[in-house]
Structure 1
């Protein structure tokens, strides 16, 4: 610390990263250690906390794009979900998913942070629907549990949508445990790879990307995918609507 005060204070105000923690002997101060342990516990809880599907489905039903359907991957429990990502990419049963032929479909997936979906999912989808052009049709939403991103390819193909948007809880970190991502895949079908998707990440207002800003980027990517006839590495975000330090869109880099 300098004579003029806390050198790290202004820098800490600009980032969620743990910087300038200080030192007591060979360790960090007790307050910083307790904050770290609290953040670690929050991240673990976010991974293991199950989605309250009934409550969430009721919230999603108020968006106005239809009553949500619920599907599940082939994962049997949360432990298997973490050990077997491959099973989280395969649906258990899609028999009740209707063929809609809609332009856009939403898959609302619990992912690695069901908490994020519960806290931000309804508001984010509402913002995206409002940002999409009025002439586009939207399929009834599908809630997917024990889900990985690629499960959306199966669901999107079953729905018969032209573009699928997978809204999924992102892997919790030691700074953020409630962040959402949106993965866009044009002409979804089983076997699509990450290079064929686009991702808008770090959605968790008020600190992360806000709902309306994320929705503008997603709507722009949907329009771009329709023009190009594909998504992924060839599709770029040109919205220029994101503020300094906020995460925008790119090709997907995994789950």
Structure 2
């Protein structure tokens, strides 16, 4: 573990002086001040998280998943719960631990539950093993302990990028970017991305054009229609994006 400390690797399970440094640098999370998220990391033994982005480091008093829901709501991005139900129904992206995605970027969960590490797969330089633990080195130089091996991180990243490509194919239907998913996802020149590019979901689309969009719109309508029938007083108009 001494090697880990020397490398200054952030650990969501264990407090270290690095946490103090990041917390001093952080400001209160405002979703409208954040564009593309690099990663979300839970603070050890607390319900709060740090949100890392190109705009800075932000402290959110909510759990990781609730912070993502707040971010989606502020930017009118797809609702995570509704999108997850659509992905489960499509049955080509697994059955659990679905990524968060919008037309601009995606985040994959490295753990289940509301409070876990979420990471942007296109921001990963590579994943290494040291002293029996795995850590991710990000493009911004940050190092972060991850609870899964490089192989399983690649599987999560593959699903996340496959879904991002499908959403972009539907969103940018007037400017066709290509015929396969990798042409809709700008993979960086990194060892992790080079391996990711060889994965099946980055080679061929598993959804038909517009399928993701149509399924999501239908699921969203049904979701809010049920609320209109049962508790219309609790339904906020802002949800109808």
Shorter-chain TM range is under 0.3
Structure showing greater radius of gyration is 1
Work out which structure has the larger RCO, using CA pairs closer than 8 Å and 6 or more positions apart in sequence: 1
TM-score, structure 1 as length reference: 0.26
